[in-house]
A and B are shown apart, each in its own frame.
Chain A
């Protein structure tokens, strides 16, 4: 069977996350919908904000509406219901409101174009997905309205589809490198179960830096984030320290002042990979120095879509981009949405 079938057996909800604005998220969404039509999979479509406008509200670039086939479910705000070209059966009026009316869950009765929207609050998105699954769809695609790379928090969906493309850089190798770096970060290993993980999760309620000793005891530092506090952090590490939990952003400055000996001795633990703000090159240097990191929850990447076209006007050779990307990331399916 096809790609969508494989995905639907593994996951229930997939977020489409863009590496940047205009990385081709909506194009990817349309591509996946077409695949689903061909494979006969009942999709549910929602968004992390209003989506599917013909004109992108932020940058003014073209943004097609989403074409949906009979039987699929869509989250539609009540004010946009009448604007839909598709025939929509109202299944439920939810309590989640958007700037353009309360959200309706609709079933497409007559195929056509639909403008999608969704709740802004993560918890509501989860409830909406539960509702849609209960109403009979097999797989839910969540589309983000803007570059959501930094807030693709892992608890909203089972896995993500990462959209990347020429918009990242005029140099193709740079696009491939940056995408591979993000994939690499998202797949940072999860901290293994055991006394250390337990020690961190049990004490992790006030967003403080925690040092975990070999015997599992926890010491909290009164620095809310590691930003600019690396010297104190380095001073706090003693020979018994094994793990350091950093609740906030993880930047170059957090580890720049950690001594080499300490860096080899301890393992850093982060909440999730979206907290990492270190570029590919520095990341490589730190790793060579012996820096080790794990996260409480990582992000699963179900597939990557590439878009060889950038709104600034330049394009890459699509076959070359695809093959380079696949070479860099061999174990994740990569799709050219414009092919």
Chain B
């Protein structure tokens, strides 16, 4: 048994085919930390039932929080959307001096943490001004509410449900107010950054002095410009230069002025500039010297701030982790609400049972077509359970659902069923034909055998094995034999095995559980036939699925595998000749 980091509950194909990947992909995550955590999310294994129950309780609490605090939830997501991944910058802060832009990013992150603390712990909307302060879409009513405490609509709380106004404690961020103070010497908590004068009295003095010099230079220049205008009527631009056309009547006079020097000339005109005086040169030099001092002092401030950030590295990174965890929990809660998921009951014994389960991936497709998914109930324990039934009866979807519900539960998700009871598995695998094996150049039988070998090699105590019509691609004599032998093998193991098949004699074994799709057994064939007759080819499939009863029911081992293949083929418009021919052979 592989333990530790490399331990794997299910292979890539199983995660995909059961729909776990689909659900994960559908989660709406807003922070870079949450996205990273989703990629690294690991399942809970047998022995970790208590931890999983805690996690599910947190999701439940998050759902209650979201339901009762719509405004706070929106505000949390708003902050999340602005969070940028600054972990690299934080990690670098110890080794290098951060740039002003990087310091700005850290300050933004600190302000976001501060706001999240208010939203999650104090149930308060706070004063955070997002970067997108001027989104035209933001309703004005929002700003009036933002000052006060969030009084959310109490109607959202069902009767008897406890009031939840904070998220679970695990997601509370650590206080980083002291570091924010360092980066915000003016304590105005504005989401802006500059090496402000308040960081260093020295810097303040240098900058004030430099500004004085610059003003003096300008004053000198303005004075000279004014004099030129008064004395000679020559008007310089605000940049203290002038372009004089050579055709200008006063050209000679202007060019000969001592206060001006030529900077450029061509055949039509001459550009003259105010000649700097000794005094101006002095000021320029002094200002330049100050510039060097200012740069040095700015760097010292940045160095100091970088060091302060480095001191807090562990706390900051931990807060980033927590933000990611909260983001993920929020996404799980919102997904659960949107898809009407319920909290699975986690039990110690190895069982999987659910009532009115829905395959989420299929449900989404069916919903788009405006139809509803026919819920399936199933109860499995160690041993072998067979599913038989009509073609088009949804056997494969049901098999995948039997994987989807437990795998979601083990990954800490709520599940798509009215009620579900799950005992954790060490290993899950689905064996199912897919187009990818064909693309890899394997025959369907070849890839099946490859996967079967993986099951036999890796299967361990408390496994969930899902097998879809194995050996259906080979001759029925050997196929049946192989399947029977596989059932013999699996039944002895501490596995929950679920197998769909069309092979009749396989179901005859005494100690297996037989489930059957109701299929078209109870439907009104007169109605169905009448509808089919007038439908075009594409609609026929839809009509059959309308009359199909996808629910599973338990039958005794003597029950026959239903034989509806020929009548369905006939309904789908296969030639009478072929159908009648087949019937002849059946006799």
Chain A interface residues (CB < 8 Å from chain B): 30-31, 34-35, 37-38, 78, 81-82, 87-94, 104, 107, 109-111, 130-131, 133-135, 308-309, 313-320, 338-339
Task: Tell yes or no: B245 within 8 A of A by CB.
Answer: yes
The B160-200 residues at the A interface (CB cut-off 8 A) are 191-196
CB pair B242 A89 closer than 8 Å: no
The B104-139 residues at the A interface (CB cut-off 8 A) are 104-105, 108, 131-134, 136
Task: Tell yes or no: B100 within 8 A of A by CB.
Answer: yes
CB pair B242 A339 closer than 8 Å: yes
Residues of A within 8 A of B242 (CB): 339
Complex: A133 Cα to B238 Cα, angstroms = 26
Question: Knowing A111-B214, A134-B133, A319-B248 touch, does A313 contact B269 (C-beta < 8 A)?
Answer: no
The contact string, 1 if C-beta is below 8 Å from chain A, for chain B 298-340, is 0000000000000000000000000000000000000000000
Closest to A315 in B: B268
Complex: A35 Cα to B266 Cα, angstroms = 27
Task: Tell yes or no: B101 within 8 A of A by CB.
Answer: yes
Q: Which of B131, B132, B237 contacts A339 (CB 8 A)?
A: B237
Question: Knowing A93-B108, A111-B214, A134-B133 touch, does A315 contact B269 (C-beta < 8 A)?
Answer: yes
CB pair A90 B131 closer than 8 Å: no
CB distance from B587 to the nearest CB of A (A): 63
Residues of B within 8 A of A309 (CB): 266, 269
CB pair B100 A90 closer than 8 Å: yes
CB distance from A333 to the nearest CB of B (A): 17
CB pair A316 B268 closer than 8 Å: yes
CB pair A131 B243 closer than 8 Å: no
CB pair B194 A314 closer than 8 Å: no
CB pair A90 B101 closer than 8 Å: yes
CB pair A315 B191 closer than 8 Å: no
CB distance from B100 to the nearest CB of A (A): 7
CB pair B99 A82 closer than 8 Å: yes
Complex: A99 Cα to B136 Cα, angstroms = 27
CB pair B248 A110 closer than 8 Å: no
Q: Which of A37, A88, A89, A93 contacts B105 (CB 8 A)?
A: A93
CB pair B268 A88 closer than 8 Å: no
Apart from A88-B194, A131-B132: 18 A-B pairs, beta carbons within 8 A: A34-B237, A34-B238, A34-B239, A37-B238, A87-B194, A90-B193, A91-B192, A92-B191, A107-B192, A110-B211, A131-B134, A134-B133, A134-B134, A135-B133, A135-B134, A318-B269, A319-B245, A339-B242
Complex: A90 Cα to B192 Cα, angstroms = 5
Closest to B248 in A: A319
Total A-B pairs, Cβ < 8 A: 89
Complex: A308 Cα to B104 Cα, angstroms = 44
7 residue pairs from A and B, CB less than 8 Å apart: A78-B101, A82-B100, A135-B133, A314-B266, A317-B245, A318-B243, A318-B269
Complex: A339 Cα to B245 Cα, angstroms = 10
Closest to B134 in A: A134
Secondary structure type dominating chain B contacts: loop
Residues of A within 8 A of B134 (CB): 130-131, 133-135
Task: Tell yes or no: B267 within 8 A of A by CB.
Answer: yes
Residues of B within 8 A of A34 (CB): 237-239
Residues of B within 8 A of A319 (CB): 245, 248
Q: Which of B194, B239, B247, B248 contacts A90 (CB 8 A)?
A: B194
The B193-229 residues at the A interface (CB cut-off 8 A) are 193-196, 207, 211, 214
Complex: A193 Cα to B196 Cα, angstroms = 54
Closest to B133 in A: A134
CB pair A315 B267 closer than 8 Å: yes
Residues of B within 8 A of A38 (CB): 238
CB pair A315 B108 closer than 8 Å: no
CB pair A81 B101 closer than 8 Å: yes
Complex: A34 Cα to B236 Cα, angstroms = 13
Complex: A131 Cα to B134 Cα, angstroms = 6
Complex: A338 Cα to B348 Cα, angstroms = 86
The contact string, 1 if C-beta is below 8 Å from chain A, for chain B 539-560, is 0000000000000000000000
CB pair B266 A313 closer than 8 Å: yes
Closest to A101 in B: B101
CB pair A89 B101 closer than 8 Å: no
CB distance from A114 to the nearest CB of B (A): 14
CB pair B266 A315 closer than 8 Å: yes
Q: Which of B131, B195, B211 contacts A93 (CB 8 A)?
A: B131
CB pair B269 A317 closer than 8 Å: yes
CB distance from B416 to the nearest CB of A (A): 35
Closest to A106 in B: B194
Complex: A319 Cα to B108 Cα, angstroms = 53
CB distance from A113 to the nearest CB of B (A): 13
CB pair A90 B245 closer than 8 Å: no
The contact string, 1 if C-beta is below 8 Å from chain A, for chain B 265-279, is 011110100000000
Closest to B271 in A: A338
Q: Which of A104, A110, A131, A317 contacts B247 (CB 8 A)?
A: A317
Most B Cβ at <10 Å: residue of A81, A87, A135:
A87
Closest to B264 in A: A309
CB distance from A179 to the nearest CB of B (A): 19
Question: Knowing A89-B193, A130-B134, A315-B266 touch, does A339 contact B104 (C-beta < 8 A)?
Answer: no
Q: Which of B84, B101, B245 contacts A318 (CB 8 A)?
A: B245
Closest to B132 in A: A131
Closest to A111 in B: B214
Q: Which of A35, A81, A87 contacts B238 (CB 8 A)?
A: A35
Complex: A93 Cα to B130 Cα, angstroms = 11
Complex: A30 Cα to B237 Cα, angstroms = 12
Residues of A within 8 A of B267 (CB): 314-315
Closest to B241 in A: A338
